[in-house]
Amino acid sequence: MDARKTFKIVAIDDNGLILTQLRLLLQHNFSVDFYGFTNGPDALDMIAEHHVDVIFLDLNMPQMDGIEVLRYLSDLNVKSAIVLLSGEDNTIIKMAKNLAQLRALNVVTGIDKPITQVQIKHLISSLFDDNKVASAELNTQTFDYEDVAQAVNNKQMCLYLQPKLSLPEENIVGAEFLVRWNHPEFGVLTPYYFIDIIEDSDLVHDFSILVVDEAFAFIEKHYEKLKELTFNINLSVKNLEDIHLPERLAELASSYSVPPQMITLEVTESLLIENLAESLDVLLRLRLKGFSLSIDDFGTGYSSIKQLSQIPFCELKLDRCFIHGCALDKDKQAIIEATVALAHKLHLKIVAEGIENPNDLSFLNHYKIDYGQGYLFALPLKKVSFLKALEQQKHYSVRENYN
C-alpha cells in the first residue's frame, strides 16, 4: 500500500461527535481528505460532483435515513467503497448490505458503533493495498472477445490450485483448479475479467478442453506425489450441450494415464439447467466413465433440491455467502445446518467454500462437513507452490508419527 496516497473520504452521520472521532482515527494512520456531513442531501450534492474513495454511512438518521441515501447513491451510479455504520441490531446491517448489492453498490462491510482504531486501520489497508488499487482500474468491460481469444492463443491463461482440506484434521486431500489470466500489462487476473466473454462465445468448448488438458498434464507429471489426492475442475453449463464431452474427457484421461476417479467435475448450481434432459445425458455418462460430479455454489439457485434428486452428484459445495460470518449469523447457521442434514441423507460429500475466519471454522467443525477451502488455509497457489505445500505436510506427518 502506498502510504503517500491521499484518500478522499465522505462520512454521513447525524452525530457530529462520531464524525470527529472518525476523522481523527483516519488521519492518525492515513493521508485523507475528509468531508463530514450530518445529513444525506448535502453529502449527495458533494458526491454527485466529485470522485470519492470511501463513503461511511450511518443507517439510522432523521429526515433522510441511510437506506434512502443508498437509493440515491445507486441512482448516481456511485462506485465508491461504502461502509455501513450502525448502533442497531447486526441484522439491520446485513439486510442493508443485501439491499445495496441488489442496487449494484459496492458495500464492503458494516461496522458496529463505537468505531475503533484497529477497525479503521484494517479496513483502509485492505481496501487500498497495491493489488486492489491496480485492479480497481479494470472491470468486465475492459476486455473484448479479441483480447481474450488472443490470450488463449498466446497461452496466457494458466492454472492455479486452491487446496481442499479435510475437516477437522486440516490435511490437504486435493485441490480445485482455477484459471487465471497472466496479463502482460495488468498482471494475474481472475475469471471475473474474462469468463463471461468465454461463456458467451464460441471459445467455451475448446477453452474447457484446454483447461482439462493442462490439469491432466500436471497430474501425470507429478503423479507419484498426487496419486492419493482428488482434483476439482469447473465445467460451464454450456459444456453440457456437447454430447461427446464424456468421451472426449475419458480419452484425455487415458492419454495422460489419469484415473477418472481422481477427477471431480463441478457445475455451478445457479446456472443449472435449462435443458435438463440433454444435460442429464452428459452428466450420467460422465459418471459412467468414472468421473465424480460436484454441484457448486449450492443454495444460490432456485431448484436445488429437485436437481439433487435428478442428477448423480457426489459432492455438494456450500457457497461462500453462507460460510462467511456464519459464526455470528443465526440465519446462515440455520441454512448450513439444514443443508448438511440434506447432504448426509443423500450420501453427498460436503465442501465449505470461502473459509476465511477461525471463528467460522470453529462453528463448521460442529457439523460433519468433509472438506474446507478458503483463504484461512491458503490462497490459490501456483503449481510449484502447491507441490511445496504438499511436501511440507508430508514432513509434518512424518514428524508426528515419529514422535
Last residue of one domain, picked from the residues 92, 112, 135: 135
- Does a structural domain hold residue 140? no
User: What was the pLDDT predicted at 308?
Assistant: 72
Separation CA 301–CA 321 (nearest Å) = 13
Looking at the structure, tell me whether residues 359 and 340 fall in a common domain.
yes
Cβ neighbours of 25 (radius 10 Å)? 18
* Residue with grid cell 445495496, as numbered in its chain: 100
Same domain, 342 and 397: yes
Mean pLDDT along residues 313-318: 93
Q: In this predicted structure, what is the pLDDT of residue 398? A: 40
Domain boundary among 112, 135, 158: 135
User: Is 1 part of a structural domain of the chain?
Assistant: no
38 and 123, same domain (yes or no): yes
Q: What's 381's DSSP letter?
A: B
* pLDDT of amino acid 401: 45
Pair 171, 78 in one domain: no
Distance CA 28, CA 121 (A): 9
> Distance between CA 53 and CA 9 in Å, rounded?
6
Which of the four pLDDT bands, split at 50, 70 and 90, describes residue 131?
A: very low
Binned at pLDDT 50, 70 and 90, residue 3 comes out as very low
Q: Per-residue pLDDT tens for 108-119?
A: 888 877 787 777
d(CA 338, CA 350) in angstroms, rounded, equals 12
Q: Are residues 290 and 317 in the same domain?
A: yes
Q: How far apart are CA 233 and CA 239, in angstroms?
A: 12
The answer to whether 271 and 300 are in contact (CB under 8 A) is: no
| Mean pLDDT across 146-164 | 94
Any idea what the CATH number is for the domain that residue 376 is in? 3.20.20.450
Q: Look up residue 82 and give its three cell numbers.
A: 461504502
Average pLDDT, the chain: 87
Q: Please give the span between the terminal C-alpha atoms of the chain, in angstroms, as a whole number.
A: 43
Cell numbers standing for residue 327? 459464526
Task: Examine residue 75 and state whether it is found in any structural domain, yes or no.
Answer: yes
CATH number at residue 38: 3.40.50.2300
pLDDT at 136: 46
User: How many domains in the chain?
Assistant: 2
Domain that holds residue 92: 6-135
pLDDT value for 315: 95
Looking at the structure, tell me whether residues 197 and 70 fall in a common domain.
Answer: no
- Residues 90 and 199 grouped into a single domain: no
Strands 263-268 and 292-298: parallel
Q: Which residue, 237, 226, 148, 149, is CA-closest to 192?
A: 148
* Residues 230 and 101 occupy one common structural domain: no
Cell 461463456 belongs to residue: 199
If pLDDT is split at 50, 70 and 90, which confidence band does 196 have?
Answer: confident
Host H or E run for residue 107: strand 106-112
Of 106, 135, 164, the residue at which a domain comes to its end is 135
pLDDT digits (tens, 9 = 90+) for 17-60: 899 989 988 988 788 999 999 999 999 999 999 999 999 999 98
Residues 180 and 81 in one domain: no
pLDDT at 299 over 70: no
Q: What is the mean pLDDT of residues 86-111?
A: 80
104 and 190 both lie in a single domain = no
Residue 297 host element (H or E) = strand 292-298
Tens-digit pLDDT profile for residues 232-268:
999 988 898 899 999 999 999 999 999 999 999 998 7
